Amino acid sequence: MIAVAIDGPAGAGKSTIAKKVSAELGFIYVDTGAIYRAVGLACIKKGIDEGDSRAVKKLLEDIDIRIIFFNGEQHILLNDEDVSGEIRTETVSMAASTVSAIPEVREFLLALQRDFALTDNVIMDGRDIGTVVLPNAQVKIFLTASPEVRARRRVEQLAEKGESADYETVLADIVKRDHNDSSREIAPLKPADSAFIVDTSDITLEESVKKIADIIKENIE
């Protein structure tokens, strides 16, 4: 099996790029942020403080999270309910970032992620795929862009969906989430030793897709 790890900060374009490249190569694309979001959402639904690690650990005993594919699209089931749409809010993003610093949450989600790489060729995106989840991945990419560019892209994405967002607020959220994700003790966001570092700040989406697809093709033969 071939595994490709794509890690990087929020909003660098990982999922958009990974989706396109996996369709081109015929690989399964797994977005691992979605399962951390499902844990964050479960806390919100139950009224649990995401920073309260004891309460979150207890909650893990009552939740079942599954990743399924429907017409080639990933869906997330939280206790059998499809929450794929519900997990895509800014509130859930921050809750996911907070719970992701709890070691038991990471442990709880580990096998779920690794199992995909046993049975399929995968492109998996997240924060610790090349360093922890799939340390033997054949290709590791660290995709990044400046916080300002990521915030601008996020505002544009929301505008396309008809939602307005304040640039300064989005930027502040991105900087806060970068800090949370990079400074946590366990599995912090950082490039794996052998990762190709790709900065998409000054290149278009099409150029980024081509660059990543080329790196993968050159390194899986």
Binding footprint of ligand DC on the chain (CB under 6 A)? 10, 32-33, 36-37, 93, 96-97, 100, 126-129, 177, 181
Q: For ligand DC, which is the closer residue by CB, 180 or 216? A: 180
Q: Judged by CB, which is closer to ligand DC: 100, or 208?
A: 100
Q: Considering the complex, what minimum distance in angstroms separates the CB of residue 132 from ligand DC? A: 8
Residue type, 215: I
Nearer to ligand DC, 82 or 218 (CB): 82
Smallest separation, CB 43 to ligand DC (Å): 13
Q: How far apart are CB 103 and ligand DC at their closest, in Å?
A: 11
Among candidates 189, 195, 154, 151, which has minimal Cα distance to 172?
A: 151
Whether the Cβ atoms of residue 96 and residue 36 lie closer than 8 Å to each other: yes
Give min distance, CB of 221 to ligand DC, in A: 27
Q: Which is nearer to ligand DC, 192 or 221 (CB)?
A: 192
CB-based burial label for 30 (10 Å; 0-12, 13-18, 19+): buried
> Is residue 105 within 8 Å of residue 60, measured between CB atoms?
yes
C-alpha distances in Å from residue 42, one per residue of 61, 78, 149, 218:
12, 8, 31, 41
Nearer to ligand DC, 50 or 181 (CB): 181
Cα–Cα distance for residue pair 67/82, rounded to 1 Å? 10
Minimum CB–partner distance for residue 36 and ligand DC (Å): 3
Identity of the residue, 50 or 128, whose beta carbon is nearer to ligand DC in the bound complex: 128
The tokens of 98 are what? Answer: 């907070």
- Count of all residues that appear for the chain in the document: 221
Least CB distance from residue 144 to ligand DC, whole Å?
Answer: 13
Cβ atoms of 6 and 129 closer than 8 Å = yes
